[in-house]
């Protein structure tokens, strides 16, 4: 039975979500603030957290940052549930490691679909362990230079934009997520993905993930490390 921690200061909404999830077969714990939620993380060990952004005394962002900074919680999925709709809030949340972003009011169907999708997302179990640093968006579209002192070899001829797309792809983000984070159209992103798959010699997202995780040279390239550089232990974990 999957465990879900719900963090929401609106007690009526919190009770409704708790009831919905329990009736749907989940083991559920609730909290009305980030501080008590932190305590529950260790004792309850949830598989997924559903969290509001505006909480008493703190914020959902703080809880997200704390969870993402703890190696023990690498595989915990995190869904933001908020009334905030600003694009910057979305980008900050997704860039900070959130797995999904739902706006209130949300239907029971949409909430359950998001939860089930994240719990079933296999790539997250493989790549959310710190193998790649947080992506830094580079708007340049030119290929990285070839081998040389202080430069990572790029035999795949991946452009910098393709590298950014690949970083987000292996973090388990959907096409919709990546298009919003990078500010590009879905059609443009799909063309980048097609080019990435072609250059890596794979046919799917899962195969692309495996290609990265089994190729130290590709890991170095995506992390901006020069040829021959040792990959920090935090990035070697699988």
CA–CA gap between residue 10 and residue 130 (Å, rounded): 33
The residues near 136 (Cβ < 8 Å, ≥ 6 apart) are: none
Q: CA–CA separation, 162 vs 165, rounded Å?
A: 5
Q: How many residues does the chain have?
A: 238
Final residue belonging to a domain, choices 120, 140, 169? 120
CA dihedral of residues 71, 46, 41, 36 (deg, nearest 10):
150
Q: Does residue 98 sit in the same domain as residue 129?
A: no
Q: What is the pLDDT along the chain (238 residues), one digit of tens a residue?
A: 899 999 999 999 999 999 999 999 999 999 999 989 998 998 999 999 999 998 988 889 989 988 988 888 888 999 999 998 888 888 888 888 898 999 998 899 999 999 998 888 644 443 333 334 434 333 334 344 343 445 567 889 888 888 888 888 777 778 888 888 888 888 888 888 888 988 998 887 777 877 887 788 888 888 777 766 665 544 443 2
Q: Which of 27, 24, 25, 22 is nearest to 4 (CA)?
A: 27
What pLDDT does residue 227 have? 67
61, 87, 120 - which closes a domain: 120
CATH number at residue 64: 3.40.50.2300
Are both 129 and 109 inside the same structural domain?
A: no
| Domain shared by 157 and 197, yes or no | yes
Last residue of one domain, picked from the residues 60, 87, 120? 120
| pLDDT on residue 133 | 43
Contact in structure between 101 and 184 (CB atoms under 8 Å): no
Residues 44 and 107 in one domain: yes
Say whether both 182 and 81 belong to one domain.
no
Parallel, antiparallel, or unpaired: how do β-strands 54-55 and 58-59 relate? antiparallel
Q: In angstroms, rounded to a whole number, what is the distance separating the alpha carbons of residues 93 and 96?
A: 5
Total structural domains within the chain:
2
CATH at 154: 1.10.10.10
131 and 228 part of one domain? yes
DSSP-derived letter for residue 135 is: P
Which range marks the domain in which residue 172 is found? 123-238
Q: How far apart are alpha carbons 101 and 222 in whole angstroms? A: 26
Task: Please tell me whether residues 92 and 181 are part of one structural domain.
Answer: no
Query: Do 142 and 166 reside in the same domain of the chain?
Result: yes
Degrees, nearest 5: CA angle 85-68-10: 45
- 135 with 179, same domain: the answer is yes
Residues 90 and 142 in one domain: no
Q: Tell me, what's the pLDDT at 2?
A: 94
Judging by beta carbons within 10 Å of its beta carbon (0-12, 13-18, 19+), is residue 238 exposed, middle or buried?
A: exposed
Whole-angstrom distance, CA of residue 119 vs CA of residue 224: 31
Please indicate, yes or no, whether residues 101 and 36 belong to a single structural domain of this protein.
yes
Give dist(CA 29, CA 40) in Å, integer.
Answer: 8
12 & 83 share domain: yes
């Amino acid at each position: 039975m999957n465990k879900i921690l719900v963090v929401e200061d609106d007690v009526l909404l919190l009770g409704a979500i708790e009831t919905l999830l329990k009736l749907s077969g989940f083991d559920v714990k609730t909290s009305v603030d980030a501080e008590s939620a932190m305590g529950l993380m260790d004792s309850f060990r949830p598989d997924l957290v559903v969290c509001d952004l505006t909480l008493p005394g703190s914020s959902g962002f703080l809880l997200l940052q704390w969870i993402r900074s703890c190696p023990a919680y690498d595989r915990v999925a995190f869904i933001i549930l908020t009334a905030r709709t600003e694009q910057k809030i979305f980008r900050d949340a997704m860039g900070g490691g959130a797995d999904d972003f739902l706006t209130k009011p949300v239907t029971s169907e949409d909430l359950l679909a998001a939860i089930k999708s994240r719990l079933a997302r296999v790539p997250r179990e493989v790549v959310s362990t710190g193998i790649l640093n947080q992506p830094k968006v580079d708007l340049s579209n030119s290929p990285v230079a070839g081998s040389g002192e202080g430069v990572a070899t790029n035999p795949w001829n991946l452009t910098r934009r393709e590298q950014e797309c690949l970083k987000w792809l292996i973090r388990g983000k959907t096409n919709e997520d990546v298009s919003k984070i990078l500010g590009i159209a879905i059609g443009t992103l799909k063309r980048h993905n097609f080019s990435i798959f072609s250059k890596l010699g794979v046919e799917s997202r899962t195969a692309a993930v495996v290609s990265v995780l089994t190729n130290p040279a590709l890991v170095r390239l995506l992390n901006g490390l020069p040829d021959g550089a040792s990959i920090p232990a935090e990035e070697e974990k699988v």
